[in-house]
Amino acid sequence: SINGKIPQGIIHWQSDYPVVSVKSRNGDGEKGIAVIQWGVRDTSARLRTGQQMRTKLASLTLRARENPKDRFISLMHLLTEDFLKGCFWELKRDKVAGIDGVSVKEYEARLKENLRDLVGRLKAKKYKPQPVRRVYIPKSNGGKRGLGVPTVEDKIVQMGIKKILEAIFEVDFLEVSFGFRPNRSCHQALDVLDKTIMTKPVNYVVDMDIEKFFDTIDHKWLMKCLKQRIKDTSLLRLIVRFLKAGIMEEGKFYQTDKGTPQGGVLSPLLANIYLHYILDLWFEKKVKKELRGFAQLVRYADDFMVLFQNGTEAKVFGDELRQRLDKFGLKIAENKSRIMEFGRLVWQKAQKEGQRMATFDFLGFTHYGDKTRKG
């Protein structure tokens, strides 16, 4: 069972039939259940490159789905020149450069040479992510919002890692999670939330906010989560390097001992993997089994709502959630968190008694007792 930490059964999953590539560099003699040619060179144009990439990722997804307890042994071979070229074409054409001063347009001018050099360093284990450049942009209220800007090269590698991890972990993620996932959106999360409130016996809403979530993710626990599916030490080491790359602001370097890389495409996926094991599985496999009444979790990245039928169970869950998150280095922002009465029956009672019902905000919308309106 899940009892306040990642369960033993999850931490120590072993692969009976590890999946390895044709050109495995592990040297351990393990045979895989699939033969997947990661290194096949594609000499065609951009469209063909994307198609080849999707085919390779689909093979990964198939293996992950058919073998839910497997840990993937050899994955770094996927980061070929052609694969990373496909990742490059998916980058946003931002004009803001990282700390090396190289823009996407400038990198593209020598794309073939740059990617060949990049892959060479990856294979030789000499590639090292550079610190993220922190810049500030004005907000509508007069304040400023900090943004992280990785180098173009780091963006490419992050995109490659993201695609590999996503192909594997996406089949494990639960239906309660909607943020930063393929074919899922905030509108779907809102739709599920509203339909659940309107059709299920919901009387209470647990509205809790994790304080500075992306900045406080514990690196050791995150790596333990990743190791549930990943056994490729080279890939895991590369992810650690990104986590520890640091931040550069006005010429001063800041070390990153916790949190995920700012401004990178990899961060949302790492956050989803973290909360999959720490929140989603815990709620579905342990919390719900001990409840008498109805309960439903709806999560979009680190923004989540938990709906309850029973008020006592909602309050107990709130206390257990604080303890659960604390063990994994996370804190509840108490000034942004509350447990309130909410639901059809509560709304009907409030109408009869002429009282106003509480509201809550989720994903930019304010939710009322009778309908959902844009906040």
Residue 17 reports pLDDT greater than 80: no
> Quick one: tokens of 87?
């990742």
Q: Do the domain assignments include residue 196?
A: no
Residue 42 counted as domain residue = yes
- Domain for residue 347, yes or no? no
Reference 169, options 210, 122, 228, 232; nearest CA is: 228
pLDDT above 90 covers a percentage of the chain that reads: 72
Cα–Cα distances (Å) from 208 to 141, 205, 281, 331, 361, in that order, read: 24, 9, 18, 10, 11
Q: How confident is the model at residue 367 (pLDDT cuts 50, 70, 90)?
A: confident
- Residue 354 reports pLDDT greater than 90: no
Cα–Cα distance measured from residue 82 to residue 44, given in angstroms and rounded to the nearest whole number: 10
**Tens-place pLDDT, residues 169-200:** 999 999 999 999 999 999 999 999 999 999 99
Assess whether pLDDT exceeds 80 at residue 294.
yes
Q: Which two structure tokens, joined as six digits, stand for 228?
A: 């549930």
Domain that holds residue 103: 8-162+219-263
Residue 254: exposure state from Cβ atoms within 10 A (0-12, 13-18, ≥19): exposed
Structure tokens belonging to residue 325: 């998150």
Note the pTM of the prediction, 2 decimals.
0.84
Q: How sure is the predictor about 34, in pLDDT bands with cuts at 50, 70 and 90?
A: very low
pLDDT digits (tens, 9 = 90+) for 50-81: 677 888 899 999 999 999 999 999 999 999 99
Asked whether residue 114 is domain-assigned, the answer is yes
Q: Is residue 167 a part of any domain in this protein?
A: no
- Return the SS3 of 155: helix
- Asked if residue 225 is part of any domain, the answer here is yes
Which pLDDT does position 7 carry in this prediction? Answer: 45
Answer whether residue 13 is part of any domain: yes
Per-residue pLDDT at 30: 46
As for how many domains the chain has, the answer is 1
Q: Which residue reads 């993620």 in tokens? A: 173
Cα torsion for 248, 252, 254, 260, to the nearest 10°? -10
Residues in the chain: 375
**Residue 181 within any structural domain of the chain:** no
With 80 as the cut, is the pLDDT of residue 337 above it? yes
Whether the pLDDT of residue 14 is over 90: the answer is no
